[in-house]
Structure 1
Amino acid sequence: MASAPETPIAFVRGQFVPRDTATIPLMDRGFLFGDGVYEVTAVIERRFVDNGPHLDRLDRSLREIGIANPYDRAEWIGIECELMRRNALDNGLIYIQVTRGVAERDFLFPPDLAPSVVLFAQNRRVQHNPLIEKGAAVITLPDQRWARCDIKSTSLLAQVLAKRAAAQANANEVWMTRDGHITEGASSTAFIVTPDGRLVTRTLSPAILPGVTRRTIMRIADQAGLALAERPFTRDEALGAAEAFYTSASTIAIPVTRIDGRPVANGRPGPVFRSLYDQYMQHVLENPQDF
């Protein structure tokens, strides 16, 4: 097994370079306007997790903002695999960021810009988060994001401020609210389990990101015979739930045991969460990689 390099390696505008010396042009529209999208795939025991759906979502986000996908599926996978090899990445995350490209600062842009592509890796054992065992604290805040949350935009200022508010409240995540209902987490999909055992998460719409881990968890739940409901739910309903949890590529799934300082049920991770998490890990480790 290769050892990780002293300086992590990134893929920046067509070249593999040390991350510490990587540069992006000043006039890149991603820097100037947040004019770009991103994607993240987990790596567990040298396996990409749900990589095909993540690349599908990247393609969709690019189409929605009018950027031509600079690589085909095989080329993306080749870059990811080489980045994993160069960083000796056994467990962690691979981030992809694509911006519209480089041009003089103007809200309008030339039609022939070449997109800028950046990939980098983070070493992290996402499957060994201590919150899996003890549970997370969540606070609720008004959802101040833009109207197209279904696009995985690099413009994340609202989420940055929400995460800072959570940290200041000694919480782990924010569940954002709009029109009296939970939309999603600052970087996750929100789930509850009702007292009668039904798994509930919000219906897909421009108000939320179509979570890839959300989709896999729901498929596992359906195969296990768990009743599913896609609909909005309120903060009060979450506080009265039998269980709550959130999902994302960078955390897999995390049980929520407190909301706004109040316990959810008995204040401990519940059996539905544990079963879904264990089945998800089994799915990752026993099935071929999904490219």
Structure 2
Amino acid sequence: MTLYFMDGRFTKRDGLNISIDDRGYYFGDGVYEVVKVYNGELFTVREHISRLFESAMKIKLSIPFTEEQLINISKELVAQNSISVGHIYMQVTRGDSPRQHQFPDPTVPAIVTAYAVEAPRPLGNIEKGVAIKSIEDIRWLRCDIKSLNLLGSVLAKQEAHEGGYAEAILHRNGVVTEGASTNMFGIKDGVVHTHPVTNLILNGITRQVVLGLCKELQIPVSEKEFTLEQALEMDEFFYTSTTAEVMPVLTIDEHTIGDGTPGLITKSLQKAFNKKIPVTATK
């Protein structure tokens, strides 16, 4: 039996009652998070839930639970659904209110929805690497908010998918920002390069973990803009996300990166990341 959480209660799927007047449905008026589960344990859950509240604050949305309550809800979903390796999806919308662009009356409560799903690690791609495609970044200018407004990312991901690519590498006027649902990293002469934290990217939790690992491993990091042309000349390239972990990139637009295999620094970061996982998952 799959158990969900919605609006203050745990329920089976047939007990979900999502209104057509939910502002998430009308406007994408809400925020969300995805938390990884390894061997039944939530990974970096506090960082994810903290970011959920940060995103909510940026759109003036009040979450009717504390951070600790949402963490406990997440733990309960993992336990009740017997999740070994997978993730929690959680979203908050501005509530159920007749359609109008301005915010509803403050008495309209936000709606919190969450579920847990079993999903394997992409171990084959993590070991072998993937190909990605460059696409113009047409999204809005508040990519630092993890909002439900994902159409720009959806279109980029679909274009990449239709071409047989694992991900889209987005760029604004030739400057690499991030992926459709990932953060991008290049390595040149032993230095890890990634876009700085601005409104143009989401400061990914896995991104933050990897930057911490670089510090531990004494790998130099440059959080400065780099161009798509410079990306093609990197010695190594990889991207990160909650579900992709540390994903080596072998080609960008069919252009081979380095020698066309996952590089030594990328592999060292993968190894260090695996040590951070509560109990190393092999699924």
- Fold match, TM over 0.5? yes
Question: How far apart, CA to CA, are the structure 2 residues paired with 1:286 and 1:173?
Answer: 28
Q: Which residue of 2 is the match for residue 33 of structure 1?
A: 27
Q: Does residue 272 of structure 2 align to residue 283 of structure 1?
A: no
Equivalent position SS for 1:106: coil
Deviations 1:231-289 (A, max 9, x none): 111111111111000000111110010101111111111111111111111022369xx
2:232 aligned to which of 235, 239, 259: 239
Deviations 1:53-99 (A, max 9, x none): 11111010000001112211221111111101111001101011000
1:71-220 matches, cutoff 5 A: 71-108=65-102, 109-126=104-121, 128-194=122-188, 196-220=189-213
Question: How far apart, CA to CA, are the structure 1 residues paired with 2:86 and 2:201?
Answer: 25
User: Share of identical aligned residues, percent?
Assistant: 35
Q: Report which stretch shifted further, 20-29 or 96-105.
A: 20-29
Letter in 1 for 2:201: I
Q: CA deviation at 1:130?
A: 1.2
Letter in 1 for 2:77: L
Conserved 8 A contact 1:12-1:119: yes
5+ unaligned residues in a row in structure 1: which ranges?
Answer: none
Letter in 2 for 1:13: D
Conserved 8 A contact 2:39-2:279: no
Letter in 1 for 2:205: V
Q: Which residue of 1 is the match for residue 258 of structure 2?
A: 265
Count residues in correspondence: 279
Equivalent position SS for 1:266: coil
Conserved 8 A contact 1:138-1:259: yes
Question: How far apart, CA to CA, are the structure 2 residues paired with 1:153 and 1:245?
Answer: 24
Q: CA deviation at 1:179?
A: 2.4
Q: Structure 1 length as normaliser, TM-score? A: 0.93
Q: CA deviation at 1:122?
A: 1.7
Conserved 8 A contact 1:129-1:251: no
Letter in 1 for 2:115: F
Equivalent position SS for 1:113: coil
1:56 aligned to which of 50, 54, 73: 50
5+ unaligned residues in a row in structure 2: which ranges?
Answer: none
Q: CA deviation at 1:153?
A: 0.5
Question: How far apart, CA to CA, are the structure 2 residues paired with 1:136 and 1:154?
Answer: 27
Question: How far apart, CA to CA, are the structure 2 residues paired with 1:89 and 1:286?
Answer: 14
Q: Report which stretch shifted further, 272-281 or 184-193.
A: 272-281
Q: CA deviation at 1:113?
A: 1.7
Q: Structure 2 length as normaliser, TM-score? A: 0.95
Q: CA deviation at 1:20?
A: 5.3
1:13 aligned to which of 7, 10, 22: 7
Conserved 8 A contact 2:36-2:42: yes
Q: CA deviation at 1:41?
A: 0.5
Runs (4+) off by over 6 Å: none
Question: How far apart, CA to CA, are the structure 1 residues paired with 2:134 and 2:46?
Answer: 32
Conserved 8 A contact 2:40-2:82: no
Q: Does residue 257 of structure 2 align to residue 253 of structure 1?
A: no
Q: CA deviation at 1:21?
A: 5.1
Equivalent position SS for 1:285: coil
Conserved 8 A contact 1:44-1:125: no
